[in-house]
Amino acid sequence: MGYSARRGFTNGKISGAQRQAEIQQKIAQMQEQMTAAQEAVEAREFTASVGGGVVEAKVNGKKEVLSVTIKPETVDPEDVEMLQDLVVSAVNEALRQAGEAMEKGMSGVTGGLDLGAFGL
């Protein structure tokens, strides 16, 4: 067993305080990486088209709808419900893509660890 003015008496093992400091440092690094991954996904745009490309929706990684494009031949005054369904479908698919990209980005940082149990 040795003595160090900084560490006190040690037996060559890492002290609890040192271990806690290392864990806190790793958590801070993970938080930085998660923030960077989140910002990267939020800056991306996701596009989905349905109905053979007649309706297209574009969203960003923040899950905000940026645009909806409808080809003129799709517009049938007799069948507005079909057009509404196509728009909803395209928007939902683009949002699904954005959510999936965010999950992949976070999973890459956390190594697949579910941080929901920690309130993160």
Instruction: Summarize the confidence of residues 17-45 as an average pLDDT.
Output: 90
Residue 56 located in a structural domain:
yes
Q: Number of structural domains, the chain?
A: 1
Look at residue 6 and tell me if it is in a domain.
Answer: no
Mean pLDDT computed over 4-24: 73
In a domain, 40, yes or no: yes
pLDDT at position 110 over 80: no
Report d(CA 48, CA 25) in Å as an integer: 40
Q: What residue numbers bound the domain in which 22 lies?
A: 17-109
Contacts with 49 (C-beta within 8 Å, 6 or more apart), sequence order: 55, 56, 57, 90
In-domain check, residue 75: yes
CATH number at residue 96: 3.30.1310.10
Is the pTM higher than 0.85? The answer reads: no
pLDDT of 67 = 95
Decide if 45 is inside a domain. yes
